[in-house]
């Protein structure tokens, strides 16, 4: 096993990796930007080195600087976490050239699966189901020609990158040219690559992913699925394991397909094969993430397998200590991503100082956190503060524990999306498992917007009524006002009426 590793990341995932290393008695080196000088991962690590200014392009994305720190500190391996350089095959190659072990798959496997067009070709060869799609679209004219046989609606996707950036849903042929230009522009600015292709748009699909683990001795297993359909603008916000939707037969078929996908590129380490699943439980390959996922905690909770420790063991050359038959699914787990963002202002980032913090606890609750009371949340990075997860004997118990944990969570000084999660976890469609990838944008947020308009109109009416009563009072019509309102102002009556009817609720 390694005598020392460097984590090339920041925030809660770096703290998570340090914790696994502490249990294995492995010292950890971390890096930090000027904005992260007082970050929790810096305080928690054994050694910490500055790597530059706050912008990630001048610090966390400068591969040469990170490798120089790893070599100078005596680290033997580099764990990339997720985001930043975690799926950069050139960085993995640079680590090897510097005599460092990259804790992840081979550069060839990363390159094969990192480019979505290459990945589609590899999956077709491996017999993994694909959504009908096109090769790279080089012009609007070619796009019209290739998309015609597929039919609309379609979705334009960047060949590189992820996180919903560069994606465009096109419902009509006449909108294709403008959408293609817009998608290319965003893909180029986000990933430095404007390659775009198209796939048939699966209407209201589920997003279900399979966790895989593989070693360098030919052993590949899957750790069942995660349901990731609760998304806002193509970004996952709540994940759970197992999926409340798919059947045992579909679970088995998807797991086998994910193992074939990993074998097809000689994968080693932890990875995730993502699928779209339609209402008839037909599933289609979406992409493979060649790294640890944000939502890995729910898989750990239902399988009892520490994925970070498995990554370290595989990178050190060890065999997987179990076979597929050894892996069991126990109970259910749900995870909420806690962001520093304001749900009342279209989820705008909310940087600033955390003036009070009390994390939840209790049976079945896990909080992977990367901040502390007094910490100044910077504006430069993803606003993820923590990942709050709960395990239960079944889905209902896991959701109940998560709701209780959210009610205990105190984060003051900044806005967070905790109220959003509290609302979501009580929505009847979520509780029944009746949702898809459009649920948050199409139902939850649309309903909240309608409620906001309704409440604004109610307040306006109440104010007008109160002004009217005031005018009547000033005119000396006290008896008339008492008779009309029983001595109770109109705004108070409106508030009682809204409370009695349950109202729409607020964020």
Of the candidates 34, 8, 182, 38, the residue with the CA atom closest to the CA atom of residue 104: 8
Task: List residues bridging with 206 in a β-sheet.
Answer: 277
**Diameter of the chain measured on Cα atoms:** 92
**Measuring CA to CA, how many Å separate 488 from each of 461, 470, 474?**
15, 12, 16
- Backbone region of residue 166 per phi and psi (left: phi > 0; alpha: psi in -120 to 50; beta: other values): left
Kindly name the residue from 16, 206, 291, 337 that is annotated as catalytic.
Answer: 291
Task: List residues bridging with 274 in a β-sheet.
Answer: 209, 287
Distance CA(136)–CA(28), nearest Å, equals 42
Structure letter (DSSP) for residue 64? H
Question: What does the buried/exposed string (b/e) look like for 48-78 if buried means 16 or more CB atoms within 10 Å of the residue's CB?
Answer: bbebbebebeebbbbbebbbebbeebebbbb
- Catalytic-residue membership of 260: no
Task: List residues bridging with 221 in a β-sheet.
Answer: 213
Cα 378-379-384 angle, rounded to 5 deg? 75
Cα 37-38-44 angle, rounded to 5 deg? 105
Distance CA(188)–CA(192), nearest Å, equals 4
238: number of Cβ within 10 Å: 24
Which residues are the active-site residues?
291
């Amino acid at each position: 096993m390694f005598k020392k590793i460097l984590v090339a990341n920041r925030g809660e995932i770096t703290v998570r990796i340090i914790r696994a290393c502490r249990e294995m008695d492995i010292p950890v080196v971390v890096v930090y930007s000027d904005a992260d000088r007082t970050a929790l991962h810096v305080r928690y690590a054994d050694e910490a080195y500055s790597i530059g200014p706050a912008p990630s392009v001048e610090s966390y994305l400068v591969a040469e600087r990170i490798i120089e720190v790893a070599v100078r500190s005596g680290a033997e391996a580099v764990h990339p976490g997720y985001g930043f350089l975690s799926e950069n095959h050139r960085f993995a190659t640079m680590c090897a050239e510097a005599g460092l072990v990259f804790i992840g798959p081979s550069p060839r496997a990363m390159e094969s699966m990192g480019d979505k067009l290459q990945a589609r070709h590899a999956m077709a060869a491996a017999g993994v189901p694909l959504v009908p799609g096109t090769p790279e679209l080089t012009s609007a004219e070619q796009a019209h020609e290739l998309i015609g046989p597929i039919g609309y609606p379609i979705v334009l996707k960047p060949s590189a990158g992820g996180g919903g950036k560069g994606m465009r849903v096109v419902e009509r042929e006449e909108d294709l040219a403008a959408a293609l230009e817009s998608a290319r522009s965003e893909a180029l600015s986000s990933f430095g690559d404007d390659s775009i292709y198209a796939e048939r748009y699966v209407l209201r699909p589920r997003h279900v992913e399979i966790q895989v683990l593989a070693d360098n001795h030919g052993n590949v297993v899957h750790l069942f699925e995660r349901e990731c359909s609760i998304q806002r603008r193509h970004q996952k916000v709540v994940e759970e394991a197992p999926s409340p939707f798919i059947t045992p037969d579909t679970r088995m078929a998807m797991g086998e397909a994910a193992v074939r996908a990993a074998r097809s590129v000689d994968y080693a380490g932890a990875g995730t094969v993502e699928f779209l699943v339609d209402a008839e439980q037909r599933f289609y390959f979406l992409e493979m993430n060649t790294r640890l996922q944000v939502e890995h905690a729910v898989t750990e909770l239902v399988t009892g397998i520490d994925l970070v420790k498995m990554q370290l063991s595989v990178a050190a050359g060890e065999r997987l200590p179990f076979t597929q038959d050894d892996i069991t699914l126990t109970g259910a787990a749900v995870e909420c991503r806690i962001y520093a963002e304001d749900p009342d202002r279209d989820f705008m980032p909310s940087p600033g100082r955390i003036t009070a913090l009390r994390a939840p606890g209790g049976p079945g609750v896990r909080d992977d956190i990367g901040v502390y009371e007094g910490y100044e949340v910077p504006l430069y990075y993803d606003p993820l503060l923590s990942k709050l997860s709960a395990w239960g004997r079944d889905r209902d118990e896991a959701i109940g524990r998560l709701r209780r944990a959210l009610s205990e969570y105190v984060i003051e000084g900044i806005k967070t999306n905790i109220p959003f999660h509290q609302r979501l976890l009580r929505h009847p469609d979520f509780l029944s498992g009746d949702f898809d990838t459009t649920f948050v944008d199409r139902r939850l947020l649309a309903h909240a917007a309608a409620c906001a308009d309704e409440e604004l109109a109610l307040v306006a009416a109440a104010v007008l009524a109160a002004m009217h009563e005031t005018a009547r009072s000033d005119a000396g019509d006290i008896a008339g006002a008492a008779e009309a309102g029983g001595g109770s102002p109109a705004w108070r009556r409106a508030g009682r009426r809204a409370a009695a009817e349950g109202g729409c609720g607020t964020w």
